[in-house]
Amino acid sequence: MTSRPDWKALVLEQARRTGAAALAQHAVDELAAHLEDIYLDARRAGRSDADARRAAEAALAEAPLAIVPASRSRAPEARPHVSPPGRGWIGLGGDLRFAWRQLRRAPSFAALAIATLGLGAGAATAIFSVVDTVLLKPLPYRQPDRLVAIWETNAGQALPKERLSPVNFMDYRALDRVFADAAAWWRPEASLYRPGSDPVRVSTIETSANLFQVLGVSPQLGPGFPQGGPFYSREQIAVISDRLWRQRFDADASIVGRLLEVNDGKYAIAGVMPPGFHFPDDVDVWLRLQWNLTQHSRGAHFMEAIARLQPGVTPEQGARELSGVSGRLGSQFAATNRGWIARPVPLLDDMLGYYRPALFVLLGAVAVLLVTACLNIASLLLARATVRAREIAVRAALGASRARLLRQMLVESLLLSCAGTAAGAFGALALLKIAIASMPVDVPRLAQTTVDLRLLAVALAIVVGTAVLFGLLPALVLSRTQASEALKDGTRTATGVRGRRWNRALVVTEVALACAVLMASALLVRSVSRMLSASTGVKSAGVVSATMQLASTGYPTWAKVDQSYETLLATLRAQPGVTAAGATSMLPLDPGWRLPFQIEGRVSQPNDYSVAQHICISSGYLETVGAALVAGRTFAQDDRVDTEPVVVVNQSFARRVFPDGDVLNHRIFSSAVNIGPLGRNVVGRGPFRIVGVIADIHQAPIGQTGEPVIYHTTRQFPYRPMTLVARGSDTPALTGAMRTALRQLDPTLPLSNVATLDERFLARTAAPRLLMFVLIAFAALTGALAAIGVYGLLACLVNDRRRELAIRLALGAQPGALARLVTLQGLGLAATGVVAGLLVAQLARGLLRAVLFRTETTDLAAIAVTAAILLSAAALACLAPALRAARVAPVEGLRSE
């Protein structure tokens, strides 16, 4: 079946050829009608189609059309088909109506485009609202950008971020051309006692009195710590949080001045902080510092600190000055300070930690997803270009300027992007509330996520940006359509060819972007699996842990504490289902107290690492967690306060301190005996004889290298707060056994943080795992979009080449060869995209490294998996077009169109 000739187009062509380019619209219409009448008459007279057509064409060719003037009297009617030429806003309504009709005419295209864009815009809105809340909103303190957290690092010992030594802190604080002021605190274990109710553990810090002044936050009730008062004082005062005030004290307005019983002390309540204030993280009680920070050890790192920079001083300047001080201390007090450098970190960055780079990675991924969605729509629009080329050609011929056509097409794109963004954004924000509520990890400030004007502005920017991104290229390609193309039937128009070329570029870009996101998620998968399989040095399966504390009120003496733990553990071991039980001051992955020590009879050598972690454990603990004994023995029941002080060390200690291998029976002097809050605990005064060496239990965050550790027995170095561990095959039974044993000892004691070791270890990887899952989701979406892009392009190409393929078939080509041809074409595009994408991923190296654990961005397995997944997806996308190519009927080659 042949189509009717397009008479108008014929007229326009003849007009162009005979120098009558300015032929009036009404003249074109009339001439076209005239030709049609000639044709129809001829057909009615029984002449063949071709004959009739020739008759009309002959009539047209008879005389040049240049002699036809425009009828001036009918000028107003000149362009009946096109809305009045719009300038500015005039005619926009018409454009919108036209765009609406265009989309209505292709509902499946519109639906696909809106769905694609909705996905991208939705994800972008959601991530941006999170980033906005978590990263961009300033902290609720006075001039929050002047605040820095201070940490100490030791590259030589592979310690990237450690707490400060209190003595060092005082030296840093004295740097008054850098810091306006600085505050420091440490975290005692604290339980709150109140007559008539159970004691509860509360999150507590003991802080220098200037903390609230440094932050610039005042209590809502009471004076707080005295302004300009002493940095520390023996006088016991406390400030409590709004939450504690409401929950435990029924928001009693006369609370100030009353006594708060924390552990064994009675503190006068000096104030209630405003709602939502829990600095530094989730604190409910702030005790004023009671001891002199300078009367401590430079080797003990347990203080946290913030400082307010002097006006005009940048964190970088602060870092330079601080490292100057650190360097001076390092040479002055080599034994304790060598290699330690103090480092200021902007407070918000510090609070966000891993989440900051993670959110940037997500923001990057979501931007890539959005761009991919736009490219996908652009290639859909280009695929439609062939269909629309003739419409555009006619409109161009009718006098529509290029700018006018561009505007019309951009209005269509805007309409699409509005619909997509609105759908996506509303969907995302609804889902975001649910997602935040069910978040497995505690992301700082995440709960404050709200929808506001900034988000609206971002959504608008997304609408305009995406519309331009996906609309402009097809519009530019289309608007270059020549009037003459309207004459041509079939798909092989210049617009078609130009469109396909651009389409190829778009699809390659899509694959490249998808590849970059996929690569990032593959790296995260590698990283997380490495974290999960990282050695902790213990057999965690079947071990339950829970924390508890023996307060000084009920257990005033160390003998009582020691005896009570012995009784408790004996009861616990006797419970059914418990195969082993013990207690420790620090579980695996938590660092112990880092304190200096000396080996008896050895002069401190310059290369001697004289700081080790100190951890208190009960007898039976090492057996319960399945630590491996390398030499000597572990603690026994006979190691008591009245027997020789003994310690067990780990292999890192043995290797560093005794490279020659002879470890056992050396004696250690520990500074723990003399100092601060810990020193009060130590009963055995030392020196401590090394009786055993165990294989390393990892006592540091995953990823940090192992450190020397000295294990004391609780019998000689008792400690009030301890973590109980019990091994058995039945987790609920173990928990029950712990509660029973504790109840038998003292029914008033609370047991908290009950969890299996595996759960605790898994929780350590929660943030990277969350990032990994979200990235995988983004990668899947982006990959799917790219695959759809490859499919769409190949389908178009096969359609374009049906004739050629048919002729090849007719000339003896095998259908299989044709399918291969198409598949190879698709895979070639995908492979180009993959290579480009891998390079793009390397560009984001700096950002990715911040979220990876022992994984390089050039990880071969990740590259291989990424390439394999994308190429498989591309191969899958090639399947249908390849089959269609193989099934082209040879007769199609003979058809005229």
Q: Output the six-digit token pair for 384.
A: 């439609």
Residue 37 near another protein by CB under 8 A:
yes
Residue 70 near another protein by CB under 8 A:
yes
Residue 65 near another protein by CB under 8 A:
yes
Residue 77 near another protein by CB under 8 A:
yes
Q: 76 or 606, CB closer to another protein?
A: 76
Closest distance to another protein from the beta carbon of 105 (Å): 21
The dihedral built from the CA positions of residue 556, 560, 562 and 566, taken in this order, carries a sign that is negative
Residue 29 near another protein by CB under 8 A:
yes
How far lies 130's CA from each of 102, 308, 865, in Å?
A: 37, 27, 30
How far lies 451's CA from each of 359, 419, 457, 550, 751, in Å?
A: 18, 19, 11, 47, 40
Taking CB under 8 A as the binding criterion, the range among 26-34, 203-211, 280-288, 604-612 that sits at the site for another protein is 26-34
Q: What SS3 state is found at 629?
A: strand
**The binder of another protein chosen from 6, 13, 16, 68 (CB under 8 A):** 68
Work out the number of other CB atoms within 10 angstroms of the CB of residue 408.
25
Q: Which of residues 79-138 bind another protein (CB under 8 A)?
A: 80
Residue 415 near another protein by CB under 8 A:
no
How far lies 70's CA from each of 64, 77, 400, 541, 841, in Å?
A: 15, 11, 18, 93, 61
Residue 847 near another protein by CB under 8 A:
no
Q: Output the six-digit token pair for 562.
A: 């020691």
Q: 30 or 800, CB closer to another protein?
A: 30
**The binder of another protein chosen from 43, 54, 59, 142 (CB under 8 A):** 59
**The binder of another protein chosen from 6, 13, 16, 26 (CB under 8 A):** 26
Residue 44 near another protein by CB under 8 A:
no
Q: 78 or 139, CB closer to another protein?
A: 78
Taking CB under 8 A as the binding criterion, the range among 35-43, 326-334, 522-530, 701-709 that sits at the site for another protein is 35-43
Q: 398 or 467, CB closer to another protein?
A: 398
Closest distance to another protein from the beta carbon of 894 (Å): 33
Residue 62 near another protein by CB under 8 A:
yes
Q: 66 or 158, CB closer to another protein?
A: 66
Decide if 486 contacts 393 (C-beta within 8 A): yes
**The binder of another protein chosen from 32, 42, 306, 309 (CB under 8 A):** 32
Residue 27 near another protein by CB under 8 A:
yes
CA–CA dist 378, 467 (Å, integer): 9
Work out the number of other CB atoms within 10 angstroms of the CB of residue 129.
23
Taking CB under 8 A as the binding criterion, the range among 55-63, 292-300, 418-426, 506-514 that sits at the site for another protein is 55-63
Q: 46 or 195, CB closer to another protein?
A: 46
Residue 54 near another protein by CB under 8 A:
no
Q: What SS3 state is found at 379?
A: helix
**The binder of another protein chosen from 33, 251, 559, 889 (CB under 8 A):** 33
Closest distance to another protein from the beta carbon of 63 (Å): 4
Closest distance to another protein from the beta carbon of 122 (Å): 46
**The binder of another protein chosen from 10, 55, 60, 524 (CB under 8 A):** 60
Decide if 545 contacts 756 (C-beta within 8 A): yes
Amino acid type, 300:
A
Closest distance to another protein from the beta carbon of 27 (Å): 6
Residue 13 near another protein by CB under 8 A:
no
Residue count, binding to another protein (CB under 8 A): 29
**The binder of another protein chosen from 71, 332, 535, 748 (CB under 8 A):** 71
Quick one: how far is CA 458 from the chain centroid? 19
Residue 34 near another protein by CB under 8 A:
yes
Taking CB under 8 A as the binding criterion, the range among 67-75, 702-710, 811-819, 868-876 that sits at the site for another protein is 67-75
Quick one: how far is CA 580 from the chain centroid? 40
Closest distance to another protein from the beta carbon of 73 (Å): 6
In the stretch 161-200, what mask flags binding to another protein with x, by CB under 8 A? ----------------------------------------
In the stretch 226-255, what mask flags binding to another protein with x, by CB under 8 A? ------------------------------
Closest distance to another protein from the beta carbon of 67 (Å): 5
CA–CA dist 547, 750 (Å, integer): 9
**The binder of another protein chosen from 19, 64, 274, 816 (CB under 8 A):** 64
CA–CA dist 240, 278 (Å, integer): 9
Kindly give the interhelix angle for 815-843 and 802-810, rounded to the nearest 10 degrees. 140
Q: 40 or 430, CB closer to another protein?
A: 40
CA–CA dist 29, 682 (Å, integer): 105
Closest distance to another protein from the beta carbon of 407 (Å): 28
* Residues 6 or more apart in contact with residue 774 via CB below 8 angstroms: 362, 365
Residue 69 near another protein by CB under 8 A:
yes
Residue 6 near another protein by CB under 8 A:
no
Q: 7 or 286, CB closer to another protein?
A: 7
DSSP string, 250-316: TT-TT-TT-EEEETTEEEEEEEEPPTT--TTTT--EEEEP-S-TTSS-TT---BEEEEEEPTT--HH
CA–CA dist 123, 874 (Å, integer): 24
Residue 10 near another protein by CB under 8 A:
no
Residue 488 near another protein by CB under 8 A:
no
Taking CB under 8 A as the binding criterion, the range among 56-64, 475-483, 697-705, 873-881 that sits at the site for another protein is 56-64
687 upstream amide cis, omega within 30 of 0:
yes
Kindly give the interhelix angle for 494-533 and 453-479, rounded to the nearest 10 degrees. 140
CA–CA dist 315, 770 (Å, integer): 31
Residue 42 near another protein by CB under 8 A:
no
Decide if 683 contacts 718 (C-beta within 8 A): yes
Residue 678 near another protein by CB under 8 A:
no
Closest distance to another protein from the beta carbon of 776 (Å): 58
Residues in a beta bridge with 272: 221, 240
Residue 374 near another protein by CB under 8 A:
no
How far lies 199's CA from each of 180, 281, 739, 749, 875, in Å?
A: 39, 22, 16, 7, 65
166 upstream amide cis, omega within 30 of 0:
no
The dihedral built from the CA positions of residue 266, 272, 277 and 279, taken in this order, carries a sign that is negative
872, 876, 879, 881: CA torsion to nearest 10: -110
Closest distance to another protein from the beta carbon of 4 (Å): 11
135, 141, 142, 143: CA torsion to nearest 10: -20
Residue 38 near another protein by CB under 8 A:
yes
CA–CA dist 661, 809 (Å, integer): 80
Question: Residue numbers of the site for another protein (CB under 8 A)?
Answer: 26-27, 29-38, 59-60, 62-74, 77, 80
